[in-house]
Amino acid sequence: MNLELSGRNYLVIAASKGLGFSVARELLREGACVMLSSSNAARLADAAERLWAEKLENFQTTVADLRNPADIDELVRETFNAFGRIDGFLTNCGGPPAGPPLEVTDEKWQLAFDSVFMSVVRLCRLIVPSMIELGGGSVLAITSTTVKQPIENLTTSNALRPAVVGYLRYLANEVAAKNVRVNAVAPGRILTERTQELDTALAARTGQSLDEVRSRSAEEIPMKRLGDISEFPALCAFLLSPRASYITGQTFCIDGGRVQSLW
Ligand SMILES: NC(=O)c1ccc[n+]([C@@H]2O[C@H](COP(=O)([O-])OP(=O)(O)OC[C@H]3O[C@@H](n4cnc5c(N)ncnc54)[C@H](OP(=O)(O)O)[C@@H]3O)[C@@H](O)[C@H]2O)c1
């Protein structure tokens, strides 16, 4: 399928590695122009090296901490300066602090709120009006399967990811008639550094080996394995593309069938 991304410009947040990077690379492979952003200049430089090694060159990078409103303002300004217009963007963030429900401190809640929720709101406020003016665009958010079903010890994600989807679902209604589409993807257990960190922490907390943690985790998934990162970005690129022109207000799980809800 030709996603018709040639000549289109995208901004991808939290894109130096993991899921965000995989989507930026997929968009580039499909012919789009991409601004990649993350908070760490060295990791962004490493991401750029990996893209150049694949002869993918139609991109720029900007360092921005998505918890900082001034950084987000500057990032969006730089993207408009570089590309002239933004046809779509992917919101994403580092995994929020973990912990049981009665132990997460105010400080950690605030960090998680700024990173998971406010970054999405701020990006939408800055970019969606220009999409309305242009006559269309696509917003996609990486969330988590916690929007459908809580995950043990991920209290901030269990509480704040559903808030993101609630915000986006309503935004989708408000802008649908202007041809701006708003969707979310909910990954579940796709192998990245984040999954590695969470599994290592769980192993330390419970006295299990990393292998035991992994196989228990795979047991909960109908496909009986964790996802490979190569299995994540195709749907995202499609949703960001004009080929998904009649899809809005939806949340799609990419989770090997893990979430059991019927909707
Ligand atoms: N992998 C999964 O199975 C899974 C499942 C459910 C939900 N998720 C969620 O999906 C998101 C991405 O997961 P992942 O597995 O790709 O994680 P990852 O490998 O840890 O990547 C996280 C990305 O976020 C960037 N980042 C972190 N803090 C940032 C900040 N303050 N400002 C800007 N960028 C920042 C990191 O770049 P820098 O360090 O360079 O800033 C990196 O590019 C996370 O929120 C995670 O909780 C993942």
For residue 91 and ligand 1, the question of a CB distance below 6 A is answered with: no
Q: Could you tell me the distance, in angstroms and rounded to a whole number, from the CA of residue 131 to the centre of ligand 1?
A: 26
> Do 43 and 64 sit in the same domain of this protein?
yes
> Do 203 and 110 sit in the same domain of this protein?
no
Q: What is the mean pLDDT of each run of 10 residues along the chain (263 residues)?
A: 97 98 98 98 98 98 98 98 98 95 98 98 98 98 97 95 98 98 97 91 91 93 97 98 98 97 85
For residue 169 and ligand 1, the question of a CB distance below 6 A is answered with: no
Domain holding 203, by residue range, is: 191-226
H-type alpha helices, the chain: 18-29, 41-53, 69-83, 106-112, 119-134, 155-175, 193-206, 210-219, 233-240
In a domain, residue 218? The reply is yes
> Do 177 and 222 sit in the same domain of this protein?
no
Residue 121's pLDDT is: 98
In a domain, residue 23? The reply is yes
In a domain, residue 260? The reply is no
Residue 44's pLDDT is: 98
For residue 189 and ligand 1, the question of a CB distance below 6 A is answered with: yes
Angle at alpha carbon of residue 155, lines to 150 and 158, rounded to 5°? 40
Residue 262's pLDDT is: 87
In a domain, residue 4? The reply is no
In a domain, residue 169? The reply is yes
Q: Could you tell me the distance, in angstroms and rounded to a whole number, from the CA of residue 179 to the centre of ligand 1?
A: 29
> Do 111 and 27 sit in the same domain of this protein?
yes
Of all residues in the chain, what percent are helix, strand and coil, respectively (each to 5)? 50, 15, 35
For residue 61 and ligand 1, the question of a CB distance below 6 A is answered with: no
CA 254/CA 191 separation, integer angstroms = 12
> Do 53 and 150 sit in the same domain of this protein?
yes
For residue 231 and ligand 1, the question of a CB distance below 6 A is answered with: no
